[in-house]
């Protein structure tokens, strides 16, 4: 079960040692991309949710406006906050499965065993 | 609730017009007991099956990492959609209108944040608990102790809130005594965890999440059926019978600082909840962890979108006076609506689902509490990281029994107390003690042992003390005239201070070995090399 080889404990095969891989531009790019994706996602989430909360606090009248005979603007906006949160999650998964994971697999295969 | 419910019912029947809605809530309901028995029997059969597959520590804590992304997504939803969400938020919408909807959105937004910051590195770096990640590069003993205390404290407050809530609900819905309800919840939940470990707990969560989603969907569809399936017609009825105010933001969010602070606690508290974090070790790899968050976000998002409809429908179909007469907090709005729409049978079904919800959440909490005790404290502190499989599994089972007994004991001890603040407290401690240390250990090379320990202790103590002296406890629970601080939820301060302390103390105590390991850790964090 515990086949946890400490990183860097390489032996003979493969092309790159753990140290070489860590220093490689490709790995640094991967780390940078994931960091960027996380930060963009988080910023959009913050704008959406805290924007909504601050709007309620600052101007409840905006959300109390009627958009139908009785329905207020706040109702679709509340639903939209949830939908946007889900869409952000989904976009992250699409990005990670489509472009991040293949790169992870490629780098892993370059590592000495 | 001081009056026996039957007396309440009688008064209502006398006070209201004959066609006004009445309820059988509070009386022993044969249908709900039958449904409940079916759920318990099915889950115990699953536990029997799971017990045969639960021998090693990896099987006990992490279901042998055999859970699929979809199954884990459902199980995560099961862990998260507690009775407080289902009954509490529908009740809040029923009694306070749009404000309840604002609250509902806050419960969802932690999930994307969990995805962006924690899910994959947690899966790659850890083994069974979040302390595995925090202690990865640092000195095991002090970090494990601090992280286990942070984790257990979070889980305990969450558990007290669940247990007290469960006793009250079960008493209301099944008509059985509070203490007996506590013991039943404790005994059934212990059977799941003790014998079936994570595999049984996961399946209990999956069944419960499925039942809850089906139940709430049925409620929504039947309720909208009374309004020609038009939400606009429902809002029109709300406006004409209760007033347009119910559809507008009310008193919940008046101070943006307060609202943001509560939002931070809800959002980042999720990222420090041990029973949620533990679930990520049940899937095979980081990719499955990621997908399970997406499924969970979908299920939970759907739940929070339709739950306000249940609340609004209850407020006009059942009416606010009856809802608040049965339970001041509005917790019975959804069951009352079920009774109105589908009679005894539907009420029985919803009541049983609510009970199953509590059982499942407490089982997940117990497993998380037990693993902090056995994996972090026993194995890594007492045995210095060298325990046999047998010893670790035995310690986990002993931890489970202790935690189960403590849960029932605290449930009985806090009978009749106002414990609503304890969920907020659990989230605040999770966001202030567990989350900053977890995040810093993943992203920051310079994080040191002293920094981690200081951040966890300061975060835990500060959030607890600040909640006690805030209006939430100082005025509402301890009945003092005026609170020492104004913020009802001090997370914005306690979390910020925990980050600052972790950062400053680490800068003052640079740790060479930890910094050297950070580069190696990256291979595991990003590529999953060496992940278990």
Domain chopping of chain A, boundaries: 18-110
pLDDT band with cut points at 50, 70 and 90 for residue A23: confident
Q: Residue A67: phi, psi to the nearest 5?
A: -110, -10
The predicted pLDDT at position B10 comes to: 38
Mutate to test the interface with A, among B109, B260, B263, B287 (most CBs of A within 10 A): B109
Of B102, B112, B521, the CB nearest to A56: B102
Mean pLDDT for the stretch of residues B13-35: 64
Residue A6 has pLDDT above 80, yes or no: no
Q: Name the more confident of B10 and B222.
A: B222
B305 contacts in A (CB within 8 Å)? 79, 82-83
Chain A closest CA to B440's CA: distance in Å?
A: 14
Q: Could you give the 3-state DSSP secondary structure of residue A16?
A: strand
Mean pLDDT for the stretch of residues B384-403: 92
The predicted pLDDT at position B497 comes to: 98
Yes or no, beta carbons of A53 and B231 under 8 Å apart = no
pLDDT band with cut points at 50, 70 and 90 for residue B315: very high
How far is the C-alpha of B320 from the C-alpha of B302, rounded, in Å? 25
Residue B339 has pLDDT above 70, yes or no: yes
What domains can be seen in chain B, in order of their start residue? 27-418 (1.20.1730.10)
B297 contacts in A (CB within 8 Å)? 85-86, 89
Q: What long-range pairs does B180-187 form, CB within 8 A, spacing at least 24?
A: B182/B408, B182/B411, B182/B412, B183/B408, B185/B358, B185/B359, B185/B362, B185/B408, B185/B411, B186/B362, B186/B404, B186/B405, B186/B407, B186/B408, B186/B411
Residue A96 has pLDDT above 90, yes or no: yes
- With beta carbons less than 8 A apart as the criterion, state whether B291 and A101 touch: no
Is B519 an interface residue toward A (CB < 8 Å)? yes
Yes or no, beta carbons of A53 and B256 under 8 Å apart = yes
Question: What rounded mean pLDDT belongs to chain B?
Answer: 89
The predicted pLDDT at position B16 comes to: 43
The predicted pLDDT at position A113 comes to: 65
Q: Which two tokens stand for residue A88?
A: 């952000």
* Residues B430-489 pLDDT 10s: 999 999 999 999 999 999 999 999 999 999 999 999 988 988 888 888 888 888 888 888
- Buried-exposed string B57-85: b where 16+ CB fall within 10 A, e elsewhere: bbbbbbbbbbbebebbbbbbbbbbbbbbb
* Residues B154-179 pLDDT 10s: 999 999 988 988 887 787 777 788 99
Question: What rounded mean pLDDT belongs to chain A?
Answer: 86
Q: Name the more confident of B418 and A109.
A: A109
Mean pLDDT for the stretch of residues B25-53: 86
Yes or no, beta carbons of B115 and A75 under 8 Å apart = no
Q: Which residues contact B314 (CB under 8 A, 6 or more apart)?
A: B90, B93, B94, B223, B323, B333, B334, B336, B337
* Residues B85-102 pLDDT 10s: 888 899 999 999 999 999
Q: Residue A111: phi, psi to the nearest 5?
A: -80, 140
**Complex ipTM:** 0.90
Of A30, A70, A81, the CB nearest to B244: A70
Question: Position of tokens 């409940």?
Answer: B36
pTM: 0.90
Residue A12 has pLDDT above 50, yes or no: no
The predicted pLDDT at position B368 comes to: 95
* Dihedral sign, Cα of residue B274, residue B202, residue B358, residue B313: positive
How far is the C-alpha of B123 from the C-alpha of B141, rounded, in Å? 22
pLDDT band with cut points at 50, 70 and 90 for residue B237: very high
């Amino acid at each position: 079960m515990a086949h946890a080889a400490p990183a860097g404990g390489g032996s003979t095969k493969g092309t790159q040692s753990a140290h070489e891989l860590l220093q490689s531009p490709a790995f640094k790019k991967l780390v940078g991309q994931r960091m960027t994706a996380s930060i963009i996602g988080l910023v959009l989430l913050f704008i959406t949710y805290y924007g909504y909360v601050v709007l309620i606090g600052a101007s409840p009248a905006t959300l109390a406006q009627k958009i139908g005979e009785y329905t207020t603007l706040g109702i679709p906006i509340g639903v939209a906050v949830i939908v946007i949160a889900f869409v952000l999650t989904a976009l992250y998964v699409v990005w990670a499965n489509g472009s991040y994971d293949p790169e992870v697999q490629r780098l892993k295969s370059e590592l000495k065993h | 609730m001081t009056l026996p419910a039957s007396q309440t019912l009688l008064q209502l029947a006398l006070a209201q017009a004959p066609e006004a809605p009445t309820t059988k809530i509070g009386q022993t309901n044969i249908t709900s007991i039958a449904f409940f028995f079916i759920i318990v029997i099915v889950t115990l059969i699953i536990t029997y099956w799971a017990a045969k597959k639960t021998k090693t520590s990896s099987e006990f804590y992490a279901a042998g990492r055999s859970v699929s992304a979809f199954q884990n997504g459902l199980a995560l939803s099961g862990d998260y959609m507690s009775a407080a969400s289902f009954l509490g938020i529908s009740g809040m919408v029923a009694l306070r209108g749009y404000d309840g909807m604002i609250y509902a959105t806050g419960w969802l937004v932690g999930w994307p944040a969990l995805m962006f910051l924690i899910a994959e590195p947690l899966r790659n770096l850890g083994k069974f608990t979040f302390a595995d990640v925090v202690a990865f590069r640092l000195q095991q003993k002090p970090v494990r102790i601090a992280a286990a205390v942070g984790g257990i404290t979070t889980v305990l407050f969450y558990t007290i809130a669940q247990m007290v809530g469960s006793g009250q609900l079960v008493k209301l819905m099944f008509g059985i005594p509070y203490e007996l309800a506590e013991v039943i919840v404790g005994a059934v939940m212990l059977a799941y965890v003790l014998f079936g470990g994570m595999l049984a707990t996961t399946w209990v969560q999956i069944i419960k999440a499925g039942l809850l989603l089906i139940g709430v969907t049925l409620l929504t569809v039947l309720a909208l059926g009374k309004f020609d399936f038009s939400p606009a017609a429902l809002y029109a009825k709300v406006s004409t019978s209760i007033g347009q105010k119910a559809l507008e933001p009310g008193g919940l969010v008046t101070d943006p600082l307060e609202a943001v602070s509560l939002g931070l606690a809800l959002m980042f508290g999720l990222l420090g909840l041990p029973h949620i974090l533990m679930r990520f070790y049940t899937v095979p790899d980081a990719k499955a962890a990621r997908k399970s968050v997406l499924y969970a976000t979908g299920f939970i998002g759907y739940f929070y979108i339709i739950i306000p409809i249940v609340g609004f429908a209850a407020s006009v179909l059942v009416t606010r006076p009856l809802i608040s007469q049965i339970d001041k907090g509005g917790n019975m709005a959804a069951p009352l609506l079920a009774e109105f729409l589908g009679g005894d049978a539907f009420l029985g079904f919803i009541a049983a689902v609510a009970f199953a919800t509590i059982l499942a959440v407490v089982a997940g909490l117990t497993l998380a509490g037990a693993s902090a005790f056995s994996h972090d404290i026993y194995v890594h502190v007492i045995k210095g990281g060298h325990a046999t499989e047998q010893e670790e599994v035995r310690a986990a089972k002993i931890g489970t029994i202790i935690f189960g007994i403590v849960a029932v004991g605290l449930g009985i001890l806090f009978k009749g107390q106002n414990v609503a603040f304890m969920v907020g407290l659990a989230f605040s401690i999770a966001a202030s003690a567990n989350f900053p240390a977890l995040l810093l250990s993943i992203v920051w090379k310079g994080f040191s042992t002293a920094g981690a320990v200081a951040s966890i202790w300061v975060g835990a103590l500060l959030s607890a003390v600040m909640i006690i002296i805030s209006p939430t406890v100082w005025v509402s629970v301890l009945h003092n005239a005026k609170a020492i601080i104004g913020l009802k939820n001090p997370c914005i301060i306690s979390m910020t201070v925990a980050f600052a302390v972790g950062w400053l103390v680490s800068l003052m105590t640079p740790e060479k070995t930890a910094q050297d390991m950070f580069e190696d850790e990256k291979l595991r964090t990003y590529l999953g090399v060496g992940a278990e």
